[in-house]
């Protein structure tokens, strides 16, 4: 049985997250959602000490979020 590239990279959220992390992009929809959810109400003066670092640039976290109408393609 032949496996397509799509089938391979969508095998699981973890595999898709690793694939997305390899893409050479400056920003993605995961960045927008991170800023909306965490930065809007953050009091930190310095982003280098982000209290939500575990979610920053975390494609896997973004893949677990519920899709909203404004984000559907």
pLDDT of residue 34: 92
Domain of 31, in residue numbers: 13-20+27-66
- Give the C-alpha distances (Å, rounded to integers) separating 63 from 4, 14, 51: 21, 9, 20
pTM over 0.85: no
Q: Give pLDDT tens digits along the chain (73 positions).
A: 888 999 999 999 999 989 988 888 878 888 899 999 999 889 888 888 899 999 988 888 889 988 875 544 4
Is 8 domain-assigned? no
- Structural domains of the chain, count: 1
Is 42 domain-assigned? yes
Q: Which value, to the nearest 10 degrees, does the dihedral of the CA atoms of residues 12, 5, 54, 46 take?
A: -160
pLDDT of residue 3: 85
How many whole angstroms separate alpha carbon 3 and alpha carbon 28? 27
Is 72 domain-assigned? no
């Amino acid at each position: 049985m032949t496996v397509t590239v799509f089938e391979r990279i969508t095998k699981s959220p973890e595999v898709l997250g690793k694939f997305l992390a390899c893409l050479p992009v400056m920003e993605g929809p995961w960045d927008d959602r991170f800023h909306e959810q965490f930065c809007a109400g953050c009091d930190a003066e310095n982003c280098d000490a982000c209290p939500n670092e575990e979610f920053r640039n975390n494609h896997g976290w973004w893949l677990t979020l519920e899709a909203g109408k404004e984000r559907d393609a």
